Amino acid sequence: MSDQNELVHENIGAVSRLGEGNGNGKSLGDLGNIDLLLDVPLRITVELGRTRLQLRQVIELQQGSVIELDRLAGDPVDIFINERLFARGEVIVVDDKFGVRITELISPNGEKGAA
Listing DSSP states for 27-68 in one string gives -HHHHT-GGGGTT----EEEE-------HHHHHT--TT----
Domain boundaries, the chain: 1-40, 41-115
> In this predicted structure, what is the pLDDT of residue 81?
94
pLDDT at 36: 84
In eight-state DSSP terms, residue 115 is: -
User: What DSSP designation does 70 have?
Assistant: S
* Per-residue pLDDT, 77: 96
Residues in the chain predicted with pLDDT less than 50, given as ranges, are 21-22, 28
| Domain range 41-115, CATH architecture | Roll (2.30)
